[in-house]
Amino acid sequence: MQGLSTDRPAPGAAGQPIHTMTFGDLFAALKAGWRDFLRAPLFGLATGGFIAVIGIVIVASLTVWDMPWLIYPFAIGFPLVGPFAAVGLYEVSRRLAEGERPAFRDVAAVIWAQRRREVSWMAFVMLFVFWVWMYQVRLLIALCLGLVSFASFEQFLTVVFTTQSGLIFLAAGHVVGGFLALVLFSITVFSIPMLLERDLDIVTAMITSVKAVFQSPVVMLGWGVFVTLSILAASAPLFLGLLVVLPVFGHATWHLYRRAIPAPV
């Protein structure tokens, strides 16, 4: 396959071969993701639009419930659930690669079928990590800022960025959040597309995904940071940027997975 390292693949869990990734693989996967988005734009727009609506509803709810200070940590943690949101996009890319013309009914049937497969357990793992992230934010606020409430999001930002305790909270929160993001990224970036395509158990898929990430740590860490920052930037204008950014990265992740862990012959 063009763009892959010429090194002999290292064995993953259950004998899955793993290729060492290069930055050339990232660019090639991103290019392929953009191409898939252009070939089947309605799938991407529907997925990005659905996630954008969810984001808008949550932000509006936090505002109505007088908890606007949770908007910032929510926005930081929002990309954590991205891989699961892209399940349908993985299926679209898989069908396009096989020369098929994806239809909404067929893709929806595949997504619905995942409720009885291992992918549904990955959803539980991702939501649990997201819950841990939001809980530790509350805990850090109590430890660093005390038992206080904020009347507005602007007041929260003022306290965080202009006081010593706020800066300590910001630093500690990003360290903990970065660790949780690294763990979740490592176990999900390849495991979800792998579970979608192959008959594997969740543990094998997660172990293989972690091995693939740590076999190419600099490249994969760069990919994770790039995706996270891009999604955060796309979320700024009322999440509308997700209409394009999320599907492109979803398709690109599928192609990156195929490069890192080639389909069994």
pLDDT confidence of residue 4 = 41
Q: What is the pLDDT of residue 9?
A: 45
Note down pLDDT in tens along the chain; length 265 residues. Answer: 434 433 444 444 455 689 999 999 999 999 999 999 999 999 999 988 988 888 888 888 887 877 777 777 777 776 666 677 788 899 999 999 988 888 888 888 887 877 777 777 887 888 788 888 888 887 888 888 776 666 667 777 788 888 888 889 888 888 888 888 888 889 989 998 998 888 888 899 999 999 999 999 999 999 988 988 898 888 887 788 889 999 999 999 999 999 999 876 5
The pLDDT score that the predictor gives to residue 250 is 92
Q: What's residue 249's pLDDT?
A: 94
On whether the CB atoms of residues 4 and 256 are closer than 8 A, the answer is: no
**Can you give the pLDDT at residue 109?**
86
For residue 248, the model assigns a pLDDT of 95
Euclidean distance between CA atoms 240 and 58, whole angstroms? 14
Specify the pLDDT at position 15: 59
Give pLDDT, residue 208: 93
pLDDT of residue 3: 41
